[in-house]
Structure 1
Amino acid sequence: MKRKVFGLILLGLGAFMLVVGVMTTVWAPGQLKKLPLDVNTTTHLDGVVKKLDPATGELVENPVKVQSISKVDSDASDDSTAVWVSTACVVIDIDDAPDCVDGDDPRLVSATTDVFATDRVTAEAVPDFKGLPDDAVPHEGLVNKWPFDTQKKDYTYWDGTVGEALPAIYDREESFQGVDCYVYKIAIADAPIEIAEGINGTYDQQIEIWVEPITGAIQQQKQDQQRYLDDGTPVLDLKVGFTEEQQKTFADDAKTNLSGLRLLLFWVPLIGFIVGGLCVVAAILILLSARRGGGGGSAPAKHELAGAAN
């Protein structure tokens, strides 16, 4: 009787472990490889900027820092689409400048706000999403991350300055801060833009982006940007990339996230199937043994009773 109870318990445990294995294989990937709705990320970049001094007509070089804040508006988002509010502030880093300054401060290079929507799995922009405000600029392509399970292929990447998605060309695979990454390059040349209100010009940009391919998280982004008046006069030359501290933070986050995904999507189902299978097999053997043992013990008892009657 005890063996039968133990076998049933073992059978239940095995069935449970097999269900865990199936769930983490079939259901979990779709839930884990999906952008959460509580994202609120601040990214810091630094570098140098050469900005036109109207008084002298010369470019003046200074250190520069950039603060970019990207936050998901969970109320405006839904199960498949995330609405983002993204702000970026570029400040000349002199006189103990804060991360952002007001419009009257001469250290301000630019300050922008962008609202857009992306698919929570593919990271592609969703230009007509119902949760966007009426004045939101329709976006195309990737905007602020790559898709889960990024491929070694070309994508299109949104550039807000020119207002269109441009080819992001796969270049190479490379380890960055201990994280395996795919590297993509974006090149923009002589793109017509508005330098300032009512002033037209052109725009060049070289961008290099390191992407952790399983999560699609950007690990490093370098930008080399120039802006010119229509007559060819340079007005801005900006070279920035993630700060060293930011690179380390993103690398640590990537390693943590990858370890969690590996545990839940590989080890948990593997253990579930192996342990579950072993438990079921052992339970069946125990139950069969208990059944044979119980059947063998009943005949002698009947024989003894029959002998007593004689």
Structure 2
Amino acid sequence: MRKGFGIGLTVLGGFLITLALLAQFWAPGQLMKTPLDTDSLTLLDGTAQLSDGTGGTNEFPVKAFSVTRADSERSDSDVIVFQNSSCLVKDEGEIDECVSASDPQERLLSASTDNFATDRRTGEAVDDPKYLPPSAEQKSGLVNKWPFLAEKKTYQYWDGFSGEAVPATYDGTDTIDGLEVYNYKIVVSDAPIEVTDGVQGTYSTDRTIQIDPTTGAIVNQFETQERLDGDGNVFLALDYGFTDEQVADNAETSKSNASSLNLIRKTVPLIGYLVGIPALLIGIALQVMRRRSANATADA
């Protein structure tokens, strides 16, 4: 009986220790990748001021819709390719999606499409024609998420309006629906842009992005943005961010994903070592004692 029990403990201990090592050192590298089935709709709302053409502005509520889908055929084990379409509209009437340029109420303020690729682990932009069409804009820095296990430091983040990567500076922590998030501040001042066809001007923004540090997912984002024409007049000013419903949904999803990752990264190794090491040592000790007992009986 002691023989079988000792061997069983030894096997169990070895199995749990192996499982713990795999969970600690191998599994995170396989699991901490952006999923290839990403398909998300992000909703924002707020207020806008738009030039009335006479030097004044009109103020009204706005909504923004951003759809991001992964192109699984172009993606691979290391790089994920995205297609994004977004729009900014006047929040007038029953509206729950982008409207066309021919909208009779003229609610469409801007619309754009984009193709980009990122590293599935770090979130960094990948500028490689292997993944992108020739018309794709060259990007650098982070694009639509932070790396897994984000750090309290400054990252370079792609700003599509200024057309370059800008510093996203760590700015403390907050809690959203029980989830700890890292705040990153982005400030751009008077970047030269084309505010509309043929009209040059400047662009400025003060944006805060709140990140789940475990998964690197964006939980919340809000900003004040200003686009001025060449004479310094407001062409478009925005004060908007993720809707409350969007933030709540992002927080719930991030908590679930972070919990799954932490189960593999922390809980499984902890249990594996706490149970596996004693089981292995006891099993070995029982087998040694049995052999000594058998040898003593044989000698007698």
TM-score interval, smaller chain = over 0.9
Letter in 1 for 2:60: N
Residue pair 1:117, 1:129 contacting (<8 A) in 2 also? no
C-alpha distance in structure 2 between counterparts of 1:100 and 1:248, whole Å: 22
Deviation of 1:151 (Å): 1.7
Aligned length: 298
| Structure 2: gaps of 5 or more residues | none
C-alpha distance in structure 2 between counterparts of 1:156 and 1:298, whole Å: 74
Aligned position for 1:262: 262
Aligned position for 2:203: 203
Match of 1:92 among 86, 90, 93: 90
C-alpha distance in structure 2 between counterparts of 1:108 and 1:299, whole Å: 96
Residue pair 1:177, 1:247 contacting (<8 A) in 2 also? no
Deviation of 1:143 (Å): 0.9
Deviation of 1:164 (Å): 0.9
Letter in 2 for 1:241: G
Match of 1:83 among 74, 81, 84: 81
1:151 matches 2:123 = no
Aligned position for 1:7: 6
Residue pair 1:65, 1:90 contacting (<8 A) in 2 also? yes
Output one character per residue of 1:12-50: Cα deviation in whole Å (capped at 9) or x when no partner. 221111110111111012122222211112111110112
1:37 matches 2:36 = yes
Other structure's SS at 1:25 match? helix
1:23 matches 2:28 = no
| Equivalence map 1:1-310=2 (5 Å) | 2-54=1-53, 58-105=56-103, 106-128=106-128, 130-298=130-298
TM-score by length of 2: 0.93
C-alpha distance in structure 2 between counterparts of 1:289 and 1:164, whole Å: 69
Bigger mean CA offset, 125-134 vs 268-277 = 125-134
Residue pair 1:65, 1:99 contacting (<8 A) in 2 also? no
Of structures 1 and 2, the larger Rg is shown by 1
Bigger mean CA offset, 131-140 vs 145-154 = 145-154
Deviation of 1:94 (Å): 0.6
Other structure's SS at 1:134 match? coil
C-alpha distance in structure 2 between counterparts of 1:159 and 1:200, whole Å: 18
Letter in 2 for 1:74: S
Residue pair 1:91, 1:99 contacting (<8 A) in 2 also? no
Letter in 1 for 2:188: I
Identity level (%): 44
C-alpha distance in structure 1 between counterparts of 2:162 and 2:253, whole Å: 32
TM-score by length of 1: 0.90
When the two chains are superposed, the root-mean-square deviation of aligned CA atoms in Å is 1.8
Residue pair 2:78, 2:120 contacting (<8 A) in 1 also? yes
Deviation of 1:297 (Å): 4.7
Aligned position for 1:306: none
Output one character per residue of 1:163-222: Cα deviation in whole Å (capped at 9) or x when no partner. 111121222222233222221111122222112222222212111111122221112111
Letter in 2 for 1:11: T
Deviation of 1:247 (Å): 1.0
Deviation of 1:118 (Å): 1.0
Deviation of 1:116 (Å): 0.7
Other structure's SS at 1:254 match? helix
C-alpha distance in structure 2 between counterparts of 1:265 and 1:98, whole Å: 40
Deviation of 1:293 (Å): 4.0
C-alpha distance in structure 1 between counterparts of 2:44 and 2:55, whole Å: 27
